[in-house]
Structure formats: structure tokens, C-alpha cells
Amino acid sequence: MTTTQRRGARLGDEAMVDALIIGRRIRAIRKQRGLTLESLAQAIERAPSQISALENGHREPKLSQLRRIAEVLAVPLDDLIGGDEPPDERASHEIELERIQRSVGFSSLGLPAVRVGPRLGDDALATIVGLYRKIEQLRDDRQATPEEARRVNAELRTTMRASDNYFEPIDDEAEGLLETLGYAGGPLPQRLTAALAEHLGVTLHYVDDLPQSTRSVLDERNGRIYLPQSVIGSGDSRAAVLQALSSKVLGHTVPADYAEFLRQRVESNYFAGAMLMPRTRSVERLQAAKANKDLAIDDFRDAYAVSYETAAHRFTNLATEFLDLPVHFVKVHESGTIWKAYENDSVCFPTDSLGAIEGQTCCRHWTSRIVFAETDHFSPFAQYTDTPTGTFWCAARVLASSQGRVSVSVGTDFTHARWFRGGNTTSRAVSTCPDENCCRIPPAHLREKWEDQCWPATRPHASLLAALPQGVFPGVDTTDVYEFLERHAPPEPSPTADERNRP
């Protein structure tokens, strides 16, 4: 079978045929031969409209028809169906624009299609194609692939480390609002959380059909914030409301890329912590505890009626700036996977090639892993761990989550451990990670017995492989959000008599 025969045999396969390229080749050669649409159509006994549809890629070419066209144009059939390159730059742009306007992405823009004809100048054609390429690039920048998410997360952690995880402008904003609301100390009352919403000109609405990809929805048009009904009576509803209000307080705008989206999320959580555990009173309490060598996340948590994780996060915001303590924080799933981490005390967290910590496996000998084996989960577990970068002290607690147990740990280097309750612990371990002989390779007696005798089936997380849905806010299904807002929007006010009578 010849090359032409092999190609011809595949013409029915849409994957192997590019009707747009073949059509542009026919047009280019026809014009080179000085033939009009009508003359070519007459020569192969077809209507001019059929040839036009063929040249524009709107009709799938048949092999018999292509052979007849090749004969009329006096070219080998391979000149029409061989290769995948357009005949010239103009044709390349025309083909790209045709493909763009047939795409789902273009349809979602709601723009009218541009007729790709001879009256469309080369410069205009190139500009239109270039603009759409830029739109696609912006979409790609907003789409958080796992690799992009890890890279951006690593960059954000560098920024947080440079500021010792303390964001003074957000704390200033929170202190000012608390003074305006009349906060008098202790746990933030729920009534003041509601008063903040009123102060910002929004009303709170609890619903049972919030889009699954969201934790809250702010309706700017009607001055409403929607939260899930599950927030009421479970967990800390104050935190959920404060996070929802943060975008108005902090002046967040639509994120330009995933990095800005992630930064805004960190700032929202920081704002909630700053409102729940105000800077001035928190620092006074922590400084007094340090003076007594009795710093404890449990006491900090109890003083403000927040979760242990919230207290641990807030402690890292204030510890270095106001207590002169380098610290680290890590949240680890019971599987050993690190979910969150922060450090400015030189502890050596495992990282991937992009510098990302999240998703890496925590050493089995670290406090964050050993705590799962402890039977007393009422009290925090403290331990010193000797590592390649020094000795570090950690206190950890096991908490429940929707995806299983997690541990939350806060620690510091050996020289600063004396300021913490539990700094006199006798529990000690040695970690030589990232040396794989530390905990990555099974013990010899187990390896000898089970190596080559088992085949575990992995349970991968889909999120490790899939990109977050495209959109302005990564991971959020915008259509779901708009449909939700449409369902819950208050009725439009009836027009007044004057409005009805206006021409």
C-alpha cells in the first residue's frame, strides 16, 4: 500500500483528518492556479457552496472528491492530505481562529463570532488570535494544577517567614473594629460577630443548599452573606462568619491568579484569628505566661474559647514578633501526610523539588507522628527530637477531622523550649530524615519476611492528579454559585409610577 493509499484509508478517522488544514490547502492551490470557486466547482461537478464549505473546513472531505480536486488542480493527492502544516501564516491564523470560535471556552465568553473571510485583514486577524491566546493564558494562570499549587504555596511560605508570620496591617484593622464594636476582653461574643456584619452593611443567612465548592458566598448586590446551616451549633460559628466578612474588611478584589487567591485565603484566616484572639490582650497574656515559663497552646485556646488549631495558628502570628521566639507549626494526617506547615526556627521539613512541604511524608519519629500512638489524648504530648539541623521541642495534640485524625504541633528549637509547659519532658527521639534509612525503609526482619510477598492497592487522592476547576476562584463552580444566588435573591422591587411612565 502506498503512502497516499494509507492516508486515504484513514480519511474516515476524524482523529487523523484535519478538515481545516485540507480546506486551506485547497484554497491556496486554487488561487495559485488562478481558479475561482465557481470554476473549480464546475470542473468537479459540484455546487460552489460545497467547495466553499470544504475550503472553510465545515465539511468532512471524501477521498473520491479529494482525488478529483487534485486532478483538476494538477497536484499529487499528498499535497492536499499530507502533513499537518497550514500552507502559509495567513492560513495558520485563519485555522486557529476557526478552532477558537468552535471551542467551549469561546462560547462561554458570550461574544459574537468573527467571519473569517478575505475582508478580514492580516493584522486584524493576528490581533484577534493574539487576544484570545492571552485570555487562555490568563485562564491557565488561574487554574491551579497540583504543580502550580505547590509552587505558589512554597513562595507564600517564604513571604510568611520573612514577616515572621505577623501581618501588622490586618491586626491593626482587627483592633480598630473591635474597639468600634465595644469589645471588652475575653472570648469574642457572638453578638459582636453579628454586630460586625451589621456594621459592614450585610445580613447573615444560613442555608442548606450552599454550593459544595464553597464555604460561604457573599452577595454584594443585595448585601448578604450565605453560610451553611451546619455552622450553627457545631464548631466555631464565629470563625466562619469572620472569614466570610474578611473580603469586605480587607478590600479583596477578584484574584488575578492562583497566587493572589491563596494569599487572600491566608489573610482571611489571619483576620478571623486576629478578631477572635485580639493582639493587645493576647500578647499581654502570652508575655505573662513566658515570664512564668508556662507557655501552653491549651491555655491560649481556653482563654478565647477557640479551637486548638486556631490557637496554634494565632500563636505563630505573635510568638516571634512579640515573644522573640522562633517557632514551627505542622498539621499531619494520621497517614503521615503533611497538610500544613510553617517554620522560622530552622527545623528541616521534607520538601519536593519545588520547595513545597504540603503532601510530603512526615518522619515517623517526629512528635507529629508519635502522638498518634499515645493513649492520653486529653493532654498534649511533648517530645524532643534530634534532627540533622538541630534538636527541636514539640507539643502535639490529636484532633478529629472529616478525613480522619490529624495532629497539630507547635514547637521551637532546644534553646527556647524552656519557656513552654512541657519543656522538661524526658521523651526523646532521633530523626535522620531525609536519609531513607531513618524511617522510609522497613526494618530488616519485616523486609525479609514480606518483601515480594504482597501487593497493596494504592488509594490515591484525586486532588493530587486533577486541576481545580477553572474560574476566577480556583475550585469554585461559578455556575453553581450564580444559580444559588438566583434562587436566594430577594424579589426585585416593583417600579414606581414615575419609572413606569418614563419613555
Q: How confident is the model over 223-269, as pLDDT tens digits?
A: 999 988 887 766 578 998 999 999 999 999 888 778 888 899 999 99
Q: Is 116 contained in some domain?
A: no
Q: Rounded distance, CA 154 to CA 324, Å?
A: 24
Same domain, 22 and 162: no
Question: Which domain range does residue 102 map to?
Answer: 3-110+124-140
pLDDT at position 12: 41
Domain count, the chain: 2
Q: Rounded distance, CA 282 to CA 187, Å?
A: 11
Provide the residue type at 184 as one letter: A
H or E element in which residue 227 lies: strand 224-228
Same domain, 292 and 418: yes
Q: Which of 427, 450, 473 is the last residue of a domain?
A: 450
Task: Indicate the average pLDDT of the chain.
Answer: 84
pLDDT at position 153: 85
Q: Is 491 contained in some domain?
A: no
Cα 43-46-50 angle, rounded to 5 deg: 125
Has residue 486 got a pLDDT over 70?
A: yes
Lowest-confidence segment of 214-218, 253-257, 370-374 by average pLDDT: 253-257
Q: Is 117 contained in some domain?
A: no
**Which range is most confident: 111-120, 138-147, 155-164?**
155-164
* Residue among 163, 153, 97 nearest 130 (CA): 97
Task: Count CB-CB contacts under 10 A for residue 306.
Answer: 23
Residues 397-417 have pLDDT tens digits of: 999 988 899 999 999 999 999
Q: Rounded distance, CA 398 to CA 377, Å?
A: 6
Same domain, 163 and 52: no
Residue 13: CATH number of its domain: 1.10.260.40
Averaged pLDDT for residues 57-70: 81
Same domain, 131 and 159: no
Asked if residues 395 and 437 have their Cβ atoms less than 8 Å apart, the reply is no
* Residue among 249, 100, 72, 283 nearest 178 (CA): 249
Same domain, 359 and 445: yes
Same domain, 68 and 97: yes
Same domain, 60 and 90: yes
- Neighbour-count burial for 27-57, b at 16+ CB within 10 Å, e otherwise: bbbbeeeebebeebbeebeeeeeebeebbbb
Same domain, 135 and 258: no
Q: Is 470 contained in some domain?
A: no
Q: Is 411 contained in some domain?
A: yes
pLDDT at position 430: 95
Q: Is 472 contained in some domain?
A: no
Q: Which of 407, 429, 450 is the last residue of a domain?
A: 450
Has residue 34 got a pLDDT over 80?
A: yes
pLDDT at position 5: 41
Same domain, 300 and 329: yes
Same domain, 129 and 191: no
Same domain, 23 and 160: no
Same domain, 39 and 174: no
Q: Residue 482 has which C-alpha cell?
A: 450564580
Has residue 470 got a pLDDT over 60?
A: no
* Residue among 166, 161, 150, 163 nearest 346 (CA): 161
Q: Rounded distance, CA 194 to CA 268, Å?
A: 17
Q: Is 488 contained in some domain?
A: no
Q: Is 100 contained in some domain?
A: yes
